[in-house]
Structure 1
Amino acid sequence: MHIRQANLKDIEEIAVLFNHYRMFYDQPSNVQAAKKFMKERLEYEDSIIYIAVYKGRAVGLMQLYPTFSSISVKRAYILNDLYVVEEARGKGIGQQLMEKAIQFSKDKDASYITLTTAVINTTAKRLYERNGFKKETEFDTYNYSFI
């Protein structure tokens, strides 16, 4: 198992993983849109993408988006995407991706990492809680959606 920061050479594998991630959240399959989106993230350097390789195959990805905390006057990160292909689950890959996200954020002196997951995604919630993430109870979150 090897986890490393992704680059443009990884775009084909990242696009397939990201497409599967989106399908997990009931989005229609669209590898071309996934490829375009992820390529832009890498070219514009506006996210940090890690890829997990197991037995020579890309089996997982994790994407962090930088943001800022006005209150702590520090950088923060949004862990927006964490995905492991179904046949590679249960091997600790999600845990290693989570550890990478936490270490990367600590190394950047971030004040926090935030994430959102589906209410029914109990497996992911167990992973997050096992790694010290707490369910938000102090603030209400609101979204204004254009889709």
Structure 2
Amino acid sequence: MPLITRPAEHTDIPAIAKLFDLYRQFYEQAPDFDLALQFITDRLHRNESVILVAESPSGELVGFCQLYPSFCSVLAQPIYVLYDLFVLPSARQSGVGRALLHAAAARAKADGKARMDLTTARTNKAAQSLYESLGWVQDDVFLAYNLRVVKD
């Protein structure tokens, strides 16, 4: 599938929100387009993340990834956290995810980031295979933990 990967524009927000809502549903969250729309709008308007999109030849957005700027204290350098990567089911296995990951790596390099980090579900074997095919290395030293500090 010939496609274009590019930085998101403000006019893309409704289409990205639709993809973001589907992404959240993939991770077992209830559908909530309004929440997705507000979240994506806030990230772009506040310049709090970099969102890259994959656009089909017909102009449909078929995937996106979202990068959050952060830092690695050990390296004492800036990094990106690739937190979200989603491809429409109908566009999977066509190179969209691979293209977005290449675009993310190019953006990280252009922005002077030392590396990118990501996490994925242990059960998401397809994503793990893609990441590893592109040189991502699974961390076997550190464990990830999180603490919920706000109740729903």
TM-score w.r.t. the length of structure 2 is 0.93
1:78 aligns with 2:81: yes
How far apart, in 2, do the equivalents of 1:145 and 1:112 lie?
Answer: 26
Amino acid in structure 1 at the alignment position of 2:127: A
Question: 1:74 deviation in Å?
Answer: 1.1
1:139 aligns with 2:142: yes
How far apart, in 2, do the equivalents of 1:74 and 1:33 lie?
Answer: 33
Amino acid in structure 2 at the alignment position of 1:120: T
- Pairwise CA RMSD: 1.0
1:27 aligns with 2:29: yes
Match of 1:124 in 2: 127
1:95 aligns with 2:93: no
Match of 1:11 in 2: 13
How far apart, in 2, do the equivalents of 1:27 and 1:51 lie?
Answer: 22
Question: 1:98 deviation in Å?
Answer: 0.4
Identity %: 37
Amino acid in structure 1 at the alignment position of 2:130: L
Of 64, 85, 91 in structure 1, the residue corresponding to residue 67 of structure 2 is 64
Q: Deviations over 1:110-131 (max 9, x none)?
A: 1211101011100100111111
Question: 1:139 deviation in Å?
Answer: 1.8
How far apart, in 2, do the equivalents of 1:47 and 1:80 lie?
Answer: 10
Gaps of 5+ in 1: none
How far apart, in 1, do the equivalents of 2:13 and 2:118 lie?
Answer: 24
SS of 1:62's partner is strand
Gaps of 5+ in 2: none
Task: State how 1:105-116 maps to structure 2 within 5 Å.
Answer: 105-116=108-119
- Size of the aligned set, in residue pairs, is 147
